[in-house]
Amino acid sequence: MKVGNYRNWKSYSHGEEIHADVVVIGSGCGGATLAYELAKKGVNVALIEQGGNYHTGTFDNNELNMAGKISAERNFHTTSDGSVSLVYGNNLGGASVHYWADSYRTPDDRLKLWNRKYGVLGHLPEDLFPYWNELEENLNVNPASEPYFNRMNQLFRGSSQTLGWEGHAVPQARKNCQKSGHCMQGCMFGAKQSQLVTHIPRAVSLGTDVYTDLRAEKLLIQGQKVVGLETISIDRATLRPESKKIIFKAKAVCVAAGGFGSSTFLLRNGFKDRLPMLGEHLAINPSPMVHALFEEPIIQWRNIPAAYGVEAFRLAEYRNGDYRQGGYMLMPNQLQPATLAALIPGFGKEHSEFMEQMPRLGGTIGWIDDVETELGRIEVDRSGKRKIHYPFGRITKQIFNDLTYKQMILNFEAGAKEVFLPGFKTHRFSKLPKWEEIQSLEWRAGEFPMAAPHPAGGCRMGTNVHNSVVDSTHRVHGFKNLFVSDSSVFPTGVSVDPSFTIMAFSKIAAKQVVGEV
């Protein structure tokens, strides 16, 4: 069997034409899994990645250096109002290279919701069930065991159990973890089972060719079929496009550029007129955090990030239509020193005092399950510049309040002598404040920094062109051989880390793509 090749910007020739059965755009959890599944079926796949191929031997555990290698926009990209940092990958393996390795099976309630409310077929619990054991075996997924609980994880588990908040050890995709604590910078030991060390090399061993430093530019269309893709080479040193254009000819094209990237690519190709829902219904899983100062050393940037998670509040509760509580996952936080410094409040002496106590700083973070009626959108202007809009709606702000207050309760229960919020203004508390004090927070844009690690939507799956972008076969409405396979097809957020859901959906998508080639 032919083994595939890895190519990069140095190897391309202007005007080069490459033929493949299927072109896959993007190499994260969606694209890499799709390429592997197609390769297993004997399909000739060209896997295209805009970022570079950085093997684990090039990782140095330096958060600033690694941001330049594996983080798009060096982690400086935000929503249009600057309120939320957009976290996604720009490298072979995509965001899986810097994710926390949390690997949750999709909750049954979410799959049933997508079927009942949005008409998604063929993606019910019984449809995904056959893939869970396979994925868990291939990615070595197991619940975090005691040796991987750092001090913040231990305190978090103990205080949540005392409070009676249901939680569990987080399922982790790791093998021979060295506990370095630099998961967000890419694992230099290759222990975190990202797509870079799992599905991609397996796909290559089965004949898939990988093309890095290559940006997808323009779909080549004839009638209702896509016949190819025009790409442009990206200079690795400057990340700027070169003059070299490479053409791919294929029987099918699969867009798997991620929750932010896939809808952006289709918008830049002028699809908004024919697909009015393109770029709409964007979930971003905003993640407010609370810092905590303890008497004992915490050193939150060691060992794995989240060994234990609270799931008691995963689903929002309503009473008579009014929000009551919940709508988020709750976990220990892990921030490396430079990132932590940027998120500590205050200036000058006050900031310096916090920095001097950095080893004793811990804290928590929550992943908000986006409110279905308050989702954002992606737009692209005439010059091709992307803007991501995510206004905080009324219910979303209520969730922020509840989540922040519960984080404070948990940290004080864990023994914190002081808790405080990130941001430019100082909000410090030596004891649990009154609920009304938290309710008074306005959550203005940029005031409380947070990230968006798990985008979904923009290419929502549904029944027709008026309410969605793709159908239940992952085909783009109006096309026979154009598919989307990543988190952008989810009708809403997943309510847990989406990596496993993306991979399972991609296995389903692969069956449909094979039918076209």
Check: pTM over 0.75? Answer yes or no.
yes
Torsion, Cα 153 191 455 285, to 10 degrees, reads 0
SS3 content of the chain, % helix, strand, coil (to 5): 30, 25, 45
The CATH number of whichever domain residue 96 belongs to comes to: 3.50.50.60
Residue range 112-158, pLDDT digits in tens:
999 999 999 999 999 999 999 999 999 999 999 999 999 999 999 99
- Res 75 pLDDT > 80: no
User: Domain for residue 107, yes or no?
Assistant: yes
pLDDT of residue 442: 81
| 3-class secondary structure, 1 | coil
Q: What is the pLDDT of residue 346?
A: 84
**Do 432 and 291 belong together in one domain?**
yes
- Do 245 and 339 share a domain, yes or no? no
Which residues, in sequence order, are CB contacts of 36 under 8 Å at separation 6+? 199, 200, 202, 203, 206, 208
**DSSP code string of 289-308:** EEEEE-SS---TTSS-S-SE
Asked if residue 477 is part of any domain, the answer here is: yes
Query: DSSP label at 146?
Result: G
- Residue whose structure tokens are 């004793």: 360
The whole-angstrom separation of Cα 387 and Cα 377 is: 8
- Counting the structural domains of the chain, the total is 2
Let me know whether 276 and 297 are in one domain. no
In this predicted structure, what is the pLDDT of residue 73?
81
Same domain, 492 and 432: no
Residue 335 sits in the same domain as residue 430: yes
Res 117: pLDDT: 97
36 compared with 61, residue with greater pLDDT: 36
CA angle 20, 23, 24 (to 5 degrees): 150
Residue 376 lies in a domain: no
Please tell me whether residues 104 and 157 are part of one structural domain. no
207 pLDDT higher than 70: yes
pLDDT digits (tens, 9 = 90+) for 385-395: 999 999 899 99
Q: Residue 69: what pLDDT?
A: 85
Residues 186 and 332 in one domain: no
Residues 52, 108 within the same domain: yes
Judge if 298 and 435 occupy the same domain. yes
- Of the candidates 444, 470, 505, which is a domain's last residue? 444
Span 385-430, pLDDT tens digits: 999 999 899 999 999 999 999 999 999 999 999 999 998 788 999 9
Please determine, for residue 1, whether its predicted confidence score (pLDDT) is greater than 70.
no
DSSP state of 425: S
- pLDDT of residue 239 exceeding 90, the answer is no
Contact 371, 400 (CB under 8 A): no
- Cβ-proximal residues to 339 (8 Å cutoff; 6+ apart), any chain: 63
Tell me, yes or no, whether 273 and 414 share the same domain: no
The answer to whether position 98 is within a domain reads yes
Q: Are 294 and 309 in contact (CB under 8 A)?
A: no
Q: From CA 227, how far away is CA 254, in angstroms rounded?
A: 12
The predicted pLDDT at position 222 comes to 96
CA distance 457 to 266: 13
Task: Tell whether the torsion through CA atoms of 335, 336, 339 and 345 is positive or negative.
Answer: positive
Q: What is the C-alpha separation between 176 and 287, in angstroms, rounded?
A: 29
d(CA 193, CA 502): 15
Mean pLDDT of 65-91: 86
Among the residue ranges 72-76, 221-225, 226-230, 438-442, the one predicted with the least confidence is 72-76
Q: Which residue has the tokens 């791919």?
A: 248
Report if residue 382 sits inside a domain: no
Q: Is the pLDDT of residue 177 over 80?
A: yes
24, part of any domain: yes
CB 412 within 8 A of CB 432: yes
Please provide the average confidence, as pLDDT, over all residues in the chain: 95
Give the pLDDT of residue 74: 76
Q: Compute CA 67 distance to the chain's CA centroid, rounded to the nearest angstrom.
A: 15
Looking at the predicted structure, is the pLDDT value of residue 343 above 80? yes
pLDDT at 96: 95
- Cα 356 to the center of its chain, rounded Å: 32
**451 belongs to a structural domain:** no
Residue 465 is assigned to a structural domain of this protein: yes
- Following CA atoms 212, 379, 471, 395 in sequence, which dihedral angle do they give, to the nearest 10 degrees? 120
Residue percentage of the chain with pLDDT more than 90: 84
Domain boundary among 423, 444, 465: 444
In this predicted structure, what is the pLDDT of residue 444? Answer: 80
432-450 as b/e: b if 16+ CB within 10 A: eeeeeebeebebebeebbb
Q: How many CA atoms lie within 13 A of 5 on its CB side?
A: 4
Q: Output the pLDDT for position 50.
A: 96
Q: What is the pLDDT of residue 423?
A: 85
107 is in which domain, residue-wise?
Answer: 6-78+88-140+179-282+456-515
* Rg of the Cα atoms in the chain: 22
**Contact present, 46 and 250 (Cβ < 8 Å):** yes
**SS3 letters across 83-125:** CEEECCECECCHHHHCCCCECCCCCHHHHHHHHHHHCCCCCCH
Does 498 lie in the same domain as 425? no
Read off the pLDDT of each residue in 208-216 and give the average, rounded to a whole number.
98
For residues 272 and 206, state if they share a domain.
yes
